[in-house]
Amino acid sequence: RSPKKKSKPERRSRSPRGRRSRSPRRDTVKVKQERDDHWRRGNEERKQRHSSEQEHRRERSGDRDRHRDHSDRRKNPSERPGARGHERERDVQNIREQQAEREFYNERRREHRQTQEGNSTDQNPELRQSDNKPKEKPSVNKEKPSFELSGALLEDTNTFRGVVIKYSEPPEARIPKKRWRLYPFKNDEFLPVMYIHRQSAYLLGRHRRIADIPIDHPSCSKQHAVFQYRLVEYTRADGTVGRRVRPYIIDLGSGNGTFLNNQRIEPQRYYELKEKDVLKFGFSSREYVLLHESSDKSEANAKDDDEEDEKEDESDS
């Protein structure tokens, strides 16, 4: 026997047409239908929600408007319908009543004034004549303007280095021609000489910022006293009147006082100083002796004070 020929297996086509889908078609259709149904239901639910939200918003807005209207009516009851007309009528009536009352009281006041004027003219007939005459203006004594310095302005002009000075120089203040000096002593101890002829006034006190001659003793005031030169008149031997510059001391109301030749002087008063006068301030142990440049010379060589005064008088004139 001849061997049977083996039948060759059929070849499968590689084209996609011949292939069959593994998943059944029915399942895919169901899935699509479910998807479409789910999408439709979601849209319907969204629409219903949107419509319900819109209705809720409308209701809330309507409630708000009603509440506002109610509150406005409670605050302003005049805005209620029909209230404005009644209020206008009431206002008009009130105004008319007030005008009538004013006119009534004005008439009564006029009558009262007329009766008073009639009584006064009957009792005093001279008033009738005075009413006819023109009234004369009473003469008023006008005060003349004063251009003097006030207290505040005087303080402003009397400040030095930011400190208000209690003392102001008089108009007769002058710088002397004679060279005066102060010789201070402390318990027989000689101290430096002070030359006091370069200014018309010297302030003595404990305030070193403004004092020309500082005094450091605690019993002295900050502005204790002033050494002042003044141009004063005097009578000569022949009877004529001359002028000369003389030194003076004035106490500025210090607490412990100023002493001239061991005698306390009155505050706010000028005291004339002479050669060899001794000054003391407060409880300080220092003594200040007043001399001038010709004091240390002999009497024969010393200049006459009257001649120097005449020279000063000529220079001032």
- The full DSSP string for 247-312 is EEEEE-S-SS-EEETTEEPPBT-EEE--TT-EEEETT--EEEEEEETTTTS-TTTSPPHHHHHHHH
Q: What is the pLDDT of residue 303?
A: 47
Nearby residues of 268 by Cβ (< 8 Å), 6 or more positions away: 250, 251, 252, 253
State how far the Cα of 283 lies from the Cα of 217, in Å rounded to an integer.
Answer: 8
Region 175-297: CATH code: 2.60.200.20
State how far the Cα of 95 lies from the Cα of 88, in Å rounded to an integer.
Answer: 11
Query: Which residue is associated with the tokens 């009584």?
Result: 119
Please name which of 186, 188, 164 lies closest in space to residue 281, comparing C-alpha atoms: 186
Pairing, β 241-251 against β 201-205:
unpaired
Q: Is the pTM higher than 0.75? A: no
CA angle 271, 274, 275 (to 5 degrees): 150
Position 127, amino acid: L
State how far the Cα of 169 lies from the Cα of 243, in Å rounded to an integer.
Answer: 18
**Which phi and psi (to 5°) does residue 123 adopt?**
-75, -40
State how far the Cα of 183 lies from the Cα of 189, in Å rounded to an integer.
Answer: 11
Q: What is the pLDDT of residue 129?
A: 55
State how far the Cα of 181 lies from the Cα of 277, in Å rounded to an integer.
Answer: 11
- Which H helix or E strand runs over 233? strand 225-235
β-bridge partners, 183: 289
Q: What is the pLDDT of residues 123-178, one digit of tens each?
A: 665 555 555 555 555 555 555 665 554 444 444 567 777 778 888 899 999 999 99
DSSP string, 205-218: ES-TTT-SEE---T
Q: How far is Cα of residue 104 from the mean position of the Cα atoms in its chain?
A: 54
Q: Please report which residue ranges of the chain form alpha helices under DSSP H.
A: 25-75, 83-123, 126-132, 151-157, 305-316
Query: Which residue is associated with the tokens 């593994």?
Result: 22
β-bridge partners, 194: 182
Sign of the four-CA dihedral 118, 122, 123, 128:
positive
Dmax (CA) for the chain in angstroms is 204
**Segments of the chain with pLDDT less than 70:** 1-28, 74-85, 120-157, 296-317
Is there a contact between 236 and 230 (Cβ–Cβ < 8 Å)? no
Q: What is the pLDDT of residue 173?
A: 92
Distances (CA, A) of 187 to 100, 224, 303: 101, 22, 32
